[in-house]
Amino acid sequence: MEAAGWKVLLIEDDKIDQQAFKRLIRDENLDYNYTLAGTIAEAKSILDREEFDVIIADYLLRDGTAFDILDSLRDTPVIFATGAGNEKLAVKAMKAGAYDYLIKNPERSYLAVLPLIIKNAVNHANMQKEVKSYHENLEGLVKERTEQLEAEKELLSVTFASITDGIIVVDANKRIVLFNKVAEILAGVKLEDVKGKEIDDIFRLVHERSREIVKNPIDLVLASGDVQTTIEPDIIIIGNGREYPVSAAAAPIRKPHGQIGGVVMLLHNLSQEREIDRIKRDFVSSVSHELRTPLTSIKAYVETILRDRNMSEQTKHEFLLAVDDESKRLTELVNGLLEIAQLESGGINVLKQCVDIQVVIKQVASSLQQAAKSRKIKIQVDTFETTQQLLGNESKIRSLISNLVNNAIKFTPEGGMVRVGMQYQHGGIVIYVSDTGIGIPKEEIPKIFDRFYRVHRSGRQIHGTGLGLAIVNEVAVIHGGRVEVESELGQGTTFKVFLPLFDRNEFETSGAKKCTAN
């Protein structure tokens, strides 16, 4: 018999039946590892300590019935055996979960079929366990794959949404399957409103100058099966009344057997490139103009000196002074351009050293005293008894303050005053420069930080490069600050630069010594 190692629990209070069971095992040479229990309580105590492959339970015992054992078991097969049974009891036992039901007789002939029933019961239980394990594993695999698919879907969704170009997917009939957010903006529609519609009904590509319709790359892909790109630089997409300059490319989506199942099209918005090109052109034009003006003056003065050999020394001296002024203007312009380029390229180490703002203010005011004195302008420096040092680039902060003070001197009439100082505000430092000058029109204030921009002054010509305030703004930005302006025509102007003392994380990674109060 295939009974090696099976653990069998017999719950039986009849000694003769117990002996008959033992005799069966001996005579049939059954390799059962069996345990006997005479009561329900004893059986439960044994079951608390051990597990069995099969249980044979007499229906009626002194302290209960086999149902008391059946109620406490789930996976172990239980075979009922009783000498007082009937069909009704057998049905009840099977419904309650018993594996089989045997009727005892005085000859105990039922024992002849018991080994086969035990074998079938154990095999059935093992099969049930295997099925249960399979289902548990299957559920685990399904759950794992579902979570994997959800993660892949989320990753794809995030990736799709983060792409800065417009992506459109259509099926083989050119019906829209998918738009990303950028494509929705370019086409001027929402995916939910156009899904399933033909792409040609949503937008079209046209030549910017001729306004003639350009062949959609999707049509070219469906016709040729190859990747297609537009080489025309003047293509615009028109959808919902909006227009954007774009470049377009499309590629086939193939099924496993090679058939084209759809097309994915990429639309790159050229608006930013167009704007950058415009800024470059404007910058080159401005620089050319700013360089040409002093160079033209220098050339004219030098040519006049060279041509007029009889020119008086006084006139020649005046001309040379003018050449010197224009040369200084050129130098100032070139230096300003270099500084702007350096600031915008990020080519400086902002967190470099501890800067005592009050000391820098005093040094700048001292260096500009002569220029102010020549225009009969007073520079007033407000001081604090203590000052907190700022972690930053000292030369750039000096340039910021110098540009502001110099600007204030230029636009303040004789007899006026320029006031410069600092104060604390919300964990940072505010550098302020105010003057009693001519003021700035309110409508001009948003433009004054643009490179080369100079406020038009009717009847006044004040020389400058138009770069000073642009430098001020850039220095403030790279130090994590900002610039504010208050001005009233004929009354004066106040510039306030807000700078944080330092960012602790940046400070700890900068390698600088701790800045302290003085």
The confidence score (pLDDT) of residue 322 equals 83
pLDDT bin (cut points 50, 70, 90) of residue 212 is confident
How far apart CA 413 and CA 417 sit, in angstroms, is 9
The confidence score (pLDDT) of residue 121 equals 86
pLDDT at 329 over 80: no
Cβ burial 484-493 (10 Å sphere, 16+ → b, else e): eeebeeeebb
pLDDT at 508 over 50: no
Range 355-380 average pLDDT: 90
- Percentage of the chain exceeding pLDDT 70: 83
Range 325-338 average pLDDT: 74
The confidence score (pLDDT) of residue 111 equals 85
pTM: 0.45
The confidence score (pLDDT) of residue 88 equals 82
**Which among 348, 343, 383 is positioned nearest to 363, based on CA atoms?**
383
pLDDT bin (cut points 50, 70, 90) of residue 504 is very low
Ordered domains of the chain (ranges, CATH): 7-132 (3.40.50.2300), 163-269 (3.30.450.20), 283-343 (1.10.287.130), 349-510 (3.30.565.10)
CA torsion through residues 257, 258, 262, 266, sign: positive
Helix (H) / strand (E) element for 166: namely: strand 166-171
pLDDT bin (cut points 50, 70, 90) of residue 173 is very high
DSSP classification of residue 445: G
To the nearest whole number, what is the mean pLDDT of the chain? 81
pLDDT at 38 over 70: yes
State how far the alpha carbon of 232 is from the alpha carbons of 52, 213, 229, 245, in Å. 82, 12, 9, 11
More confident residue, 225 or 72: 225
How far apart CA 120 and CA 104 sit, in angstroms, is 19
pLDDT bin (cut points 50, 70, 90) of residue 180 is confident
Of 24-28, 111-115, 205-209, minimum mean pLDDT range: 205-209
Count CB neighbours of 352 within 10 A.
Answer: 16
